[in-house]
Chain A
Amino acid sequence: MRHSRHPLWKFGRFLRDANFSHFVVSVVVILVIWSITSATIDNPGRYLPSPLAVALSSVDMLYKGILPSYFADTIRRLVLGSIIGLSLGIPFGLLLGLNRTISDMFYPLLNFFQSISGIAIFPIIVIWWGNSDKTVLAIVLYTSFFPLAYTVLSGVREVPMKYIHAVRTLGATRFQVIRDVLLPGAMPSIVTGTRLSISFAWRAVIAGEMLAGREGLGWMIFTGQDADLTTQVILGMLMIGCSWIILDHYLLRPLEMDTIERWGLVQR
């Protein structure tokens, strides 16, 4: 059955999948309710433009090239912020986790800063650096760093002592314990923390663009509301939602699942 391996055939099976048909039905139902509501209320252009109007505005914005450039700006900020956040947060969490005294020392501090949301310190950062790209990047780093360091730290600490004892009994050095037991043992929490921190970073990018007034999807919906362009607001929200779902379901979640399957200390 060679044709069963053809991508088109696979895609057809995906369409016939029960979950997918439910998904399509609920999307269609929402679109119908949305169109009916927008047709019955007064002044739909201001309160709830019809799906068709939103689609047309997306064509218009694509044609003018605004939408791709905003989208690229947002993604660029997310990627830059996540890369810096990950490369700072993971080593920091690991370092704290390796030494019990140091981890006991910094655990409450991490806990405290995790409870101050990035959005709450936003006004302070704006006073420091004004409405600049630096402000948005600082907010993204702040929101992604603490949850990540916290998760990695608890991951290292949750590696069962018996594995460490076993390796040490067999004569392993301290470095070997770190490389062969602690790092692989903490791998699932590192990946979980990565996903968590990227999801926080995504929110922070949107919020930062809205409040600091830098071009991007967040700015697009914020100025859309100011200029009474509700189609632009809804279009931006749809873009934000869809791009996160795609990023999460097709990149981050498979990565997390594979890592947990490969490295997770699940006892069977």
Chain B
Amino acid sequence: MSIPRNIAMALYRRFGRQRLRRIALGSIPFIVLITLWYMNGIFHWLPPVFIPTIYSVFEAIFVLQEGCAGIVEIVALDNNCLMTTNIFSSLGRVVLAMLVGLPLGIGFGILAGMNRTVSKFLEPIGIFANSISGIAWVPLAIVWFGVGWMTTLFIMLNTIFWLMFFNAMLGVRGISRTYEQSVLTLGGSSWDVITQVYLPGAMPSIISGMRMSMGFGWRALIAAEMIGGDSGLGFMIFSSAEEYKVEEVFLGVLIISMIFLLTDRYLLMPLEKWTSNRWGLVWRPA
């Protein structure tokens, strides 16, 4: 048995035939694209001002991190470690906006789902706020809060709050009234109804709302940082583009999509699957 054959057998056992085929096929376009990109670096079909070489994109990491002394400066968000500082400040904004926006959106959403009158007043406002896309709020936010943390946070909250609101509301409305009535018949208070029926029943919808608001919120954040931010990945790529440092822009774009893909694939998608298995009111035949 040769070594490649052993590796092939191990992969085969690990993934199975179908998945192995899909992984192999799916990687072909990426390999082609990367090869084209690499060959462009050698043959200069398009000048490096437009498409930087792969190596210069890799090098941009070290250019941005130049003068970074070590872990302490990275954690302290020092201006010498530009790349990590911008990554962490973007991530920090996402976490902050999620911490504020999720409870607010879920709370109001459940309230609107329980009460028709509340929802009839809040729904038109929500539809209107949602239709003014995140980036259109940026100029007004700059007037109100100036350039910086508050503006980006405001834009993200605007996106997250209404998405969570609608998802929680629709989730609560989708619960069959039987559950609510049976809890009440068994002597539960309306607080019990909220914690035992509405919250778990709306959970699958809330979690998919979380996934959506992460997707839209991340986009809105990048846009907000470009115009109204003073740090963060969006700010980084925008200011690099103004100086025509195209390799830093490419690096920034790759980091942005990687962060999004990783959080979506390894954090939110498993969470969504787990919740709908655990709490989804789906009838499964035994």
Contact = CB atoms under 8 A, between A and B. Distances in A.
A225 B237 contact: no
B27 interface: yes
B256 A225 contact: no
A76 B45 CA distance: 34
Interface string B5-32: 0000000000000000110011111100
A168 to B, nearest CB: 22
B144 A108 contact: no
Contacts of A19: 120
Contacts, number: 142
A237 B121 contact: no
A127 B222 contact: no
Given A25-B121, A123-B240, A230 B133 contact: no
Interface in A193-246: 202-203, 206-207, 210-211, 218, 221-222, 224-225, 230, 233-234, 236-237, 240-241, 244-245
A112 interface: yes
A26 B26 contact: no
Interface residues of B, number: 54
Contact of A237 (B21, B136, B256): B136
A128 interface: yes
Given A105-B26, A120-B222, A245-B128, 6 more contacts: A26-B125, A47-B143, A109-B30, A123-B226, A124-B250, A225-B140
The 3 closest A-B CB pairs, nearest first, are: A123-B241, A225-B139, A108-B26
Instruction: Bin the interface of chain A by size.
Output: 35 or more
Given A117-B219, A127-B249, A244 B26 contact: no
Contacts of B207: none
Interface stretch (B95-103, B166-174, B257-265): B257-265
A172 interface: no
Contact of B140 (A121, A206, A230): A230
